Structure formats: structure tokens, C-alpha cells
Structure 1
């Protein structure tokens, strides 16, 4: 794939992670959604038993308790499945540097060259009072028709609506659809360690 090809020529994998509230966060739930040829694929999600308990604050956000993950696998048990789901695709996420930072700690051999941040892309493409995922879901009605039982701040829901957001924003970036070069200019990030993180309000 070259930089001048349309964005739909590439393979993307949208990532969302829910953590246990530790510093740095430990993974509790992970979901990935492939986007190929501009078409959104099926979501894959894993509950993960973290090495330390889930904090009260984290439970208030995603609703996952220690009881929910007591019989879940450790990340080491699912690492090969996660790597297979990620493949060689371009990672995408809302404030993606947060997700990259967690995954790079648990998958030290996984080093994507760059990633796309839908938060940065939305700030460039839209004029809204908030660019948090919830506000963007409402702006574009991205939650319509999702599978029953999905809800905000769970990894499967957040990954799927972020995949829908990517398609919306990439298509709207210009009248003919964005090229990979344009997406990288608008939303690309290369370093989870140096990227400036969003505020909590950005993420809600």
C-alpha cells in the first residue's frame, strides 16, 4: 500500500482496552475490530484476569468487577490469539496512544510503525464542543443497530463505535475519500510514549 492510495486500500484494526485503574493500567478487557476495504468486520473481545484487583474507580467506569474476571484467562494465555487478531494491520483507537502503551507492555514483540487516532482526526474534521467518544457517538448516531447487550465503556462497544467513527471521518475528510497520507497527516501517531494524552473529559 502506498501513501497515495485511498484509505480503503489498507487494513486497519480498531482497538479498545479497559483497565483495572492501576498506574500503569493493567488490562481487564480487550476488543479488536478489523476494517478492510472500508468494511467493518466482526468484533473479538476478551476478558482478562489482571494481576492486581480492579479499583473502585475503574469499576465505576466499565462495570467489570473482580468476580467477573476470577475465572478469566491471564493475558499470557491469550497473547497468541491477540497477536493473530492484530496481525499486520494499522492500529486505530480513540486516544490510541493509551491503548498502544498497554499493548506494548504485554506484547513486547508487537511494534507497529504508526497508528491512527480518531480523537485527533475528529478534532481536525469537526467543530464540536466535545470530542469524547460519547459525544461523537451521539453526533453520528454510531450506536444505532449494535448487537444487544453492548454498552458504553465496555471494550466491544467502544471498539465497534470507534470503527464506525473511523469510516465516517475518513470518508468525510474530503469529497473523494481520504488517502492514507491524508489520514496519517490528520490522525497519525508514532509514539505512545511521547504523545500528549487527552483529559478525562475527552475520554468520556
Structure 2
């Protein structure tokens, strides 16, 4: 697919939470894709001290302990910066409705231009793959993640991996509209509008 037909601003995002329900953010990452390539020089990443301590289970997942986050700013101090970074962009994430809902809850009145879900996209692109988890797809596509920051389940790493997965899958689609038709979850921004039946009036 010709990347010049892609949205002007496309950010691959990932978030990590504190394990509460609903979760408070402890990390946000946003990696731009320009001209069909990741642009790590313009990536955004924020660590956040949550109002409720990180649970032991969440620590086992992403490794961000309460001590590690003790000197990080609370969400109120970074929210405007994150909003400015995300405003006007399409976002892309694996199992994207989760990241979208968490971000939307933390950023009232924010809405991306569109939402690409690499999980949905992978189910169409690789229908015979046994699992469509990010780990399984990394193995299936043999992504080179030697340049990924941090480690698996950190937001920066997962955003980088998701970006490479997305770029690998775009080769199967001729136009952005064709990709978006299968990759945007129903009801989320960017979903193709159903054609209305013609009427007599």
C-alpha cells in the first residue's frame, strides 16, 4: 500500500495500568508512523504515578513498581501534554478498544480521528494463525525487535512491536479504506459509514 494515502498523523499507542478496576494509567506510549516507517525520534512516552498503588499482579506484568513510579508526575500534570500529542491523530493499538477506552476515560472530550485495531486486522490478514495475541503474532511474522525500547509489556516496547506488526500487515491491502474496513472496531471513530438505501424523496 502506498503510505502517501495514509492519514497525515498515525500514532501507535499502548498503555499500562495499575491493576485497579477501572485502571489508572502508569505508562503511555505513542509512536508515530511517517511515510510507512516508525519515527522513534518523535515518539512520546510518559510514566505516571497513579492515585492507587500498583497491584502485585500488575507489577508482574509490566515491572513498574510503586517505588519506580514514586517520582513520576500524577496524571493531572501530564494529561494536557498527552492530549496535545494525540489530538487530530488516528491511533493504532493491539486490542485497541481497551487502550481507546482507558485513554478516553482519562482524557474527557478527547476523540481520535480513527482507531485501527491490529488484533482485528490480524484475524483477517492471518486467518490460519492459531493465536492472535501480540506474542503469537510476533513469532508468526518473525518481527525484528532488537531496536525495541524497554521490555515486553512495557508500553514503549509494545507500541514498537505493534507498529512493526501493523506495517507488516499493510502489504496485504491496496488502499487505506480497504484496511480500515476490517481494522476499525465497530462503533469506534473511523469506522466506515454504512451506505444508506436510496429513497424516493
Residues in 1 aligned to 2:63 and 2:150: alpha-carbon distance in whole angstroms: 12
CA displacement at 1:38 relative to structure 2:
1.1
What TM-score do the two structures reach when normalised by structure 1?
0.83
Change beyond 3 A, Cα 1:190–1:91 = farther
Asked if 1:189 corresponds to 2:185, the answer is: yes
CA displacement at 1:88 relative to structure 2:
1.2
Residues in 2 aligned to 1:12 and 1:165: alpha-carbon distance in whole angstroms: 14
Aligned residues: 183
Residues in 1 aligned to 2:144 and 2:46: alpha-carbon distance in whole angstroms: 21
CA displacement at 1:6 relative to structure 2:
4.6
Q: How does 1:1-204 map to 2 (within 5 A)?
A: 6=2, 8-9=4-5, 10=7, 11-42=9-40, 43-126=43-126, 127-147=128-148, 150-173=150-173, 178-189=174-185, 191=187
Secondary structure at 1:189 match in 2: coil
More relative contact order in 1 or in 2 (CA 8 Å, sep 6+)?
Answer: 1
Change beyond 3 A, Cα 1:90–1:144 = same
CA displacement at 1:93 relative to structure 2:
0.2
Secondary structure at 1:45 match in 2: strand
Checking the alignment, whether the CA contact within 8 Å between 2:62 and 2:154 is kept in structure 1 is yes
Unmatched tracts of structure 1, length 5 or more: 193-204
Structure 1 residue runs of 4 or more that deviate by more than 6 Å after TM superposition: none
Secondary structure at 1:146 match in 2: coil
Checking the alignment, whether the CA contact within 8 Å between 1:62 and 1:153 is kept in structure 2 is yes
Q: Cα RMSD between the aligned structures? A: 1.8
Higher Cα radius of gyration: 2
Secondary structure at 2:153 match in 1: coil
